[in-house]
Structure 1
Amino acid sequence: MPETLLLLAAVGLDLLWGDPPRLPHPVRAIGAAYAGLDRLADRLGWRNRLFGAAGVLAVTAASAGLVRGLAGLPGVGWLAGLYFAYAGLALGGLLREGRRAARLLEVGRTQEARAVVAGLVSRDVSALGADGLWRALAESVAENANDAFVAPLFWLALGGPAGLWAYKAVSTADSMWGYRTPRYARLGFFAARADDALAWLPARLTVAAMWCAAWFLGLAGGVRLGDVRRDAKRSASPNAGWPMAAAAWLCGGTMGGAAMYFGVPVAKPAMGPPGVPWNAQRYAKLERLVMASGLLVAIVIICLSAIY
């Protein structure tokens, strides 16, 4: 399948269909591989940087190699390539789940909303009230504008389905191991640094797209790029803070604050206008911003693919 058509079809399927819950997803297989390596590291006593790096490189090479092999099969390879290209993008599913959580929070069904938000974030949400759930939801949707869509689409355009799934293998390792906890500080060191490198440029492209989309949506009035840059640099991650800070300022809600990860309390730096809680109105702005910026990035990448 021609690259431009592949990109267009993958984006269209993601936005229209999302991730069908009853179909197997490649990320589950990658996650199972890392879970097995995690247990093996326990048994062997190898919870160190070398074993962590070797594990990430092995899973990444296997993921990319398998996708490349299936996409190259005669006759059905184009269908396999399309499936892997589509399955690696998650903007449609992200916004649908976010909208479901927002609707539950809006009508006061906090317990049901907590279950939905728990599926979107890595933090512990069991003790969060409505305000905390709104903030966790907004932070996750803002960060995943890059992680779930812009970065995978960027690597799909550069390296085809195999390049996308090499990125997804590294990203999955970071989401499972990339924590500064006693258990993962060494095992996940390489995963975190590799993900930082691969997502560095896409994260900044996401902010540029958000900024342009915000002007179109009428959300950018009075917001200064210097405020976004200052807040983004406060984040422990060199990438996650950028789309979060941009979304916080453009949508007018505070991000950051206390959070619980694997039983460890974390004080995340504040971003955006101070002391402004998230609610249905601000989240609706965020949803429009993420959708518009994602479409803008997709249009630019597809047009560049058609030209070059």
Structure 2
Amino acid sequence: MTTVFLTLLPLLALALDLLWGDPARLPHPVRGLGLVADRLEIWGRRLMPGGLFFWGGLSTLILAGGAAALAHDLSRLPWVGWLVALYLAWSGLALRGLLDSGRAVARQLEKGDLPGARVTLSGLVSRETAHLDADGVRRALAETVSENLNDAFVAPFFWLCLLGPGGLWFHKTVSTLDSMWGYRDERYERLGKFPARLDDLLAYIPARITALVMILTGALMDLDWRAAKAHVAAAASESESPNAGWPMSAAAWLCGARVGGPAIYFGRTKDKPWIGPEGGFWDGDKLETLFQLCLLTAALTALFLFLGLGLLRLFI
């Protein structure tokens, strides 16, 4: 596989994602990782019930390292390595899937199908949705779409540009384990602490790149980028996550509507800080603005990362 192909791989993978979305009907690496993670959890609770933090850390490093090594080696197979690399890169990005799912919820709300919107939203968020009114659904949708712009696209694209398919799947594995184990409750607090912190580390730079490019994109779209620039850092610092608050706060100030507030997780209410202009509510037009903002932000971020990181591969 040539260096030129590896350099162009991120852009080719993005093109496939935008054209066809996530290859859900094909064997997907994330499903395989999920099955292995389920088995590791069972083994850990059976073999080391008092050492779940150690088991979670060891499992994370072994599984992520193994996924990265396998992706790297398969991408260099004779004759078919380029095709495997392209599939691994494509299946590691989820930009179109994120936006399609977000628009599906928005369409259901526009049709007055609040129960359907709650059900569809529940597939995108970990909070409980059955009690949400239309405003609550829109706010939760805006929050998850803006946050996952980094998690589903920018961070994996960053590692793909920097380290190729192996780097992408190291990050993707850690992110998958964080989504499965990274809950602060009695069952997962110890098991999921290591992958949660490692995921924070891997997404630290991409989250800030996402917010920065989002503000730049907002200026191009004639949104209130000055307010976003003035408030994003302070608002992001109020978030419980070291990364999620950056794209969320940028989106909230650019679109003129708030995210955060009370949310129910696993039967318990969490009072999350409000982020965004006071009195700003989401409606269908603002959600569509958010979807367009995320798409253009992704395109600009891909261009910047490709030029800054991808082309670097030609010279090292």
Shorter-chain TM band: over 0.9
Which of the numbers 286, 292, 303 marks the counterpart of 1:288? 292
CA distance in 2, matches of 1:246, 1:95: 17
Aligned residue number for residue 77 of structure 2: 73
Which of the numbers 276, 279, 284 marks the counterpart of 2:280? 276
Aligned residue number for residue 36 of structure 1: 39
SS at match of 1:259: strand
CA distance in 2, matches of 1:91, 1:240: 17
**Structure 1 pair 216/191, CA: closer, same or farther in 2 (3 Å)?**
same
1:253 aligns to 2:257 (yes or no): yes
Residue 265 of structure 1: CA displacement?
2.0
SS at match of 1:256: strand
SS at match of 1:269: strand
CA distance in 1, matches of 2:118, 2:103: 13
Which of the numbers 130, 138, 148 marks the counterpart of 2:134? 130
Q: How does 1:110-121 map to 2 (within 5 A)?
A: 110-121=114-125
Opposite residue 40 of structure 2, the aligned amino acid is: L
Opposite residue 19 of structure 1, the aligned amino acid is: D
Divergent runs of 4+, >4 A = none
Opposite residue 219 of structure 1, the aligned amino acid is: L
Opposite residue 43 of structure 2, the aligned amino acid is: L
Opposite residue 271 of structure 1, the aligned amino acid is: I
Aligned residue number for residue 163 of structure 1: 167
Which of the numbers 273, 279, 303 marks the counterpart of 1:299? 303
Residue 47 of structure 1: CA displacement?
5.4
Is contact 2:68–2:170 with CA below 8 Å preserved after alignment?
A: yes
SS at match of 1:223: helix
Opposite residue 14 of structure 1, the aligned amino acid is: D
CA distance in 2, matches of 1:67, 1:243: 29
CA distance in 2, matches of 1:127, 1:39: 32
* Alignment TM-score, normalising by the size of structure 2: 0.93
CA distance in 2, matches of 1:221, 1:95: 22
Q: 5+ residue gaps in structure 2? A: none
Which of the numbers 50, 75, 86 marks the counterpart of 2:90? 86
Is contact 2:228–2:249 with CA below 8 Å preserved after alignment?
A: no
Aligned residue number for residue 54 of structure 2: 50
Deviations 1:187-229 (A, max 9, x none): 1111111011100000000011101100000112551423111
Deviations 1:159-184 (A, max 9, x none): 10011000000111111111211111
* Alignment TM-score, normalising by the size of structure 1: 0.96
Opposite residue 301 of structure 1, the aligned amino acid is: L
Q: 5+ residue gaps in structure 1? A: none
Aligned residue number for residue 204 of structure 1: 208
